[in-house]
Structure 1
Amino acid sequence: MTVMNKVNVEEQAILAKKAAKILSLLSTEEKNAALLTLADVLDAEYETILTANKEDLENGRKKGYDDAYMDRLTLTKERVEEFAQGLRDVAKLEDPTGIVNSDWTLDNGLNVQKITVPLGVIGMIYEARPNVTVDASGLALKSGNAIVLKGGSSAIHSNKQIVDVIHRGLEQTKIPKEAVQFIASTDREATQQLFTMKKHIDVLIPRGGGSLIQAVVNNATVPVLETGVGNCHIYIDAEADVNKALAILVNAKTDRPAVCNAAETAIIHKDWLDTNKDALTQTLKENNIAVHGDELAVKVIPGAVSAGEDDWANEYLSTDIAIKTVNNVEEAIDHIDAYGTKHSEAIITENKETADTFMKLVDAAALYHNASTRFTDGSALGFGAEIGISTQKLHARGPMGLPALTTIKYMMNGNGQTR
């Protein structure tokens, strides 16, 4: 399969904008029918997608990508079925457009309605996860938006094939295939061009590592819905139940270490560590979790290595974890304030007052009391697929499902009123 290195990005954006006009007129039933058709076509053509994915995986092995990166890049029949099912799940969700949020009539008889509408054309820039191609397309189409996709070069063959399949599916529906555009180029100029097409692109959403996100935020003239990396913390309080704490820590660290809602640092109250150091050590050993700890953690946990300043800010994306010991919840919050990325933070404690303090004072998009950070996910929280997890505070925050891909219009109906 050949990959184009020169594409007309502006032409693709213009086609997407025209398609968005058509898409905005379609009914919920027509959009849902299209999503179900796409899911069926993806299931039927999974072998062509896996064949393309093999080429990306081979290139990844030659370039020496680490295990976490290769896991994000890898597709299987089961994973293709999962993101096809994700489209079916999105089809079941309430249409976020056309909802009347407010309705009132002025003294002069002018009726005012505040109504949700699509954003228009979404630009999506992402790295090694081919599933994002499907998730983002499905959410965009259901919310009445066209989308211009720019995936990373490491997944170029997988993404191009997935979009080819999506286009064949859309040809069987009321949605024009031009509503999903893929920039099939490894040329950085194509990405830079996408940054600046404010005339055609309504919003940019970056999804990937910190360097990608900052490149978009710092260089784009198009409005950006900022997603964030996940340096997530589990704070184990002095009054934490040992079984809950260990089970949550293991799940948050090892279920899928390469995802952004995995825990990267455990902050442990010194009293809890003193009482439960043997159980903690055994649990870490059984789950092959490598520890980078502060002075006390290194002293009591066999095999732990001393943590440097970088360890507190590191998104390991592996089964490594940093361990910081503290005297109280205030010290835990201070550490999170210093090193957290405002993504997902958890406290394990049986003390409600301590939990309330943590939940109110920690600044993050998602907070958990006695639960794993792994639930910061659109599907896990009942949103269907997600287009990303926003760590900013404007427009949308946390897992961004369908409502995050809408804006509002004020629609006024009168009978000749003038001012």
Structure 2
Amino acid sequence: MSVQEQGRRAKAAAGVLATATRAAKDAALRTMADALVRRTPEILAANEADVEAGRAAGLTPALLDRLALNDYRLEGMASGLHQVAGLPDPVGEVIRGSTLPNGLELRQVRVPLGVLGIVYEARPNVTADAAGLCLKAGNAVLLRGSSSAAHSNAAIVAVLRDALQTAGLPEDAVQLVDASSRETVKQLMRARGLVDVLIPRGGASLIRSVVEESTVPVIETGVGNCHVYVDAAADLDMALEILLNAKTSRPSVCNAAESLLVHRAIAEPFLARALPALRDAGVTVHGDVDVVEAGHRRGVDVFEATDDDFGAEYLSLDLSAAVVGSLDEAVAHIARFGSGHTEAIVTGSLDAAREFTARVDAAAVMVNASTRFTDGEEFGFGAEIGISTQKLHARGPMGLPELTSTKYVVTGTGQVR
């Protein structure tokens, strides 16, 4: 089936979803969640085929980690759908309202976006997350995953479509776009009039390609070159715990820390502890001259960092590191190399925290907390559709409200202009 035909079917399904009750949508989400758990064996069998093919094709450990499913991750996908079912329905919410001097009643109301296209790489959990969020917000979705996850995505979408049919909603609300050819991505990008919004999730090259070539409006989800800045007033125990969590808890995701900045005033004692701890956790450090010298003093190998290292989203157990002379230098470094995703400061100074949060340009800024908290579920939004690093319409983790638009409803008693 062509992307154009899928778009037409999605548009028809979106018309049904736009007026579906919350009860109907929530029942469908719970049916979808239960079906994922019940049919776990067939999904895992399909996923194993993808993982084996990925290994044979030489996928990196980070990509294999994103690709792999297990019982725990499938339970997490199902749990995410149950969480979304429990969230308030954004459709119909009145954002603001007033009565004009002429007596007209004005209301701005949330409405579905319509048909969303999601282009994403590897991670098959996105398939269920995106389908669930789009459904709750009254949207139909066209899912174009990567060829590396083709078997997994096909199995998951088959389960979700069967569940939709069982729940009495149109199965074409969730459709999988063929991933065997790059032509289908181009067709999605040019499906203006059928697809209302396109959301790319993946590496920098994929996102850049979709943003630059699409005629369909795009919400840009960004690369995560996230920094942890350890300020002069930091508690060093806290700073070390935050750094290790941000870097090592799951290095293959976009909210993992990729860069460390340390104030010169506490660089010696902090690096004396942090470099051996990072080494013991399997992290390779790419540092400036000060960090390299600190490594030598502690018998820890540190590779000399280049600008490319400081700008990298490693998605692996690699970390760039630099010593800065002030908060100003930290902010300037982040402005030069950051990606606008998540930045963190560890400090005991309220003034430093306020200045950092005011000056750093990012979708999320953490004070004395790990960058790993930038996540829709952690923020209480349920499963997220992505983390937007742009500034129009949506920024940060995109939950249900970000998957809606608005319309104005004006009610009068015969007024004419």
TM-score, normalised with respect to structure 2: 0.98
User: Which one of 182, 198, 201 corresponds to residue 204 of structure 1?
Assistant: 198
CA distance in 2, matches of 1:238, 1:220: 45
Structure 1 gaps of 5+ residues are 1-6
User: Which one of 398, 401, 405 corresponds to residue 399 of structure 2?
Assistant: 401
1:372-391 mapped onto 2 (5 Å cutoff): 372-391=370-389
Whether 1:78 aligns to 2:72 is yes
Percent same amino acid at aligned positions?
50
CA distance in 2, matches of 1:276, 1:309: 23
1:279-290 mapped onto 2 (5 Å cutoff): 279-290=273-284
Whether 1:341 aligns to 2:339 is yes
Whether 1:174 aligns to 2:168 is yes
Report the counterpart of residue 22 of structure 2 in structure 1.
28
1:182-261 mapped onto 2 (5 Å cutoff): 182-261=176-255
CA distance in 2, matches of 1:203, 1:374: 27
Report the counterpart of residue 102 of structure 1 in structure 2.
96
Whether 1:356 aligns to 2:354 is yes
Counterpart of 2:410 in 1: which secondary structure?
strand
Partner letter of residue 378 of structure 2? A
What displacement does 1:280 show? Answer: 1.9
Deviations 1:286-331 (A, max 9, x none): 2122110001100111211101121001111111111111100000
Counterpart of 1:103 in 2: which secondary structure?
strand
Report the counterpart of residue 3 of structure 1 in structure 2.
none
What displacement does 1:230 show? Answer: 0.1
TM-score, normalised with respect to structure 1: 0.97
What displacement does 1:184 show? Answer: 2.4
What displacement does 1:355 show? Answer: 1.4
User: Which one of 136, 154, 158 corresponds to residue 160 of structure 1?
Assistant: 154
- Greater alpha carbon shift after TM alignment, 270-279 vs 352-361: 270-279
User: Which one of 330, 333, 344 corresponds to residue 332 of structure 1?
Assistant: 330
CA distance in 1, matches of 2:279, 2:114: 50
Whether 1:265 aligns to 2:265 is no
CA distance in 2, matches of 1:214, 1:101: 33
Paired residues in the alignment total: 413
Conserved 8 A contact 1:83-1:134? yes
CA distance in 1, matches of 2:336, 2:28: 46
- Greater alpha carbon shift after TM alignment, 407-416 vs 70-79: 407-416
Partner letter of residue 274 of structure 1? E
Conserved 8 A contact 2:33-2:78? yes
Deviations 1:134-163 (A, max 9, x none): 000000000000001100111011001100
CA distance in 2, matches of 1:106, 1:281: 63
Structure 2 gaps of 5+ residues are none
CA distance in 2, matches of 1:81, 1:280: 35
Whether 1:307 aligns to 2:301 is no
Deviations 1:227-257 (A, max 9, x none): 0010000001111111000000000000000
What displacement does 1:105 show? Answer: 2.3
CA distance in 2, matches of 1:154, 1:161: 14
Deviations 1:259-297 (A, max 9, x none): 000000001112211233322233223212211000110
What displacement does 1:107 show? Answer: 3.2
Partner letter of residue 105 of structure 1? T
Conserved 8 A contact 2:178-2:184? no
Partner letter of residue 107 of structure 1? P
Conserved 8 A contact 1:210-1:228? yes
What displacement does 1:224 show? Answer: 0.5
Report the counterpart of residue 61 of structure 1 in structure 2.
55
CA distance in 2, matches of 1:260, 1:12: 30
CA distance in 1, matches of 2:100, 2:42: 58
Partner letter of residue 70 of structure 2? T
Partner letter of residue 263 of structure 1? A
Report the counterpart of residue 369 of structure 1 in structure 2.
367
- Greater alpha carbon shift after TM alignment, 268-277 vs 364-373: 268-277
CA distance in 2, matches of 1:45, 1:55: 16
What displacement does 1:81 show? Answer: 1.0
Conserved 8 A contact 2:164-2:171? yes
Conserved 8 A contact 1:160-1:184? no
Conserved 8 A contact 2:389-2:396? yes
Report the counterpart of residue 107 of structure 2 in structure 1.
113
Partner letter of residue 33 of structure 1? A
Conserved 8 A contact 1:378-1:386? yes
Partner letter of residue 180 of structure 1? V
Let me know the Cα RMSD of the aligned residues: 0.9
Conserved 8 A contact 1:292-1:320? yes
CA distance in 2, matches of 1:340, 1:208: 17
Partner letter of residue 264 of structure 1? E
What displacement does 1:414 show? Answer: 2.2
Conserved 8 A contact 2:146-2:179? no
Partner letter of residue 361 of structure 1? R
What displacement does 1:112 show? Answer: 1.6
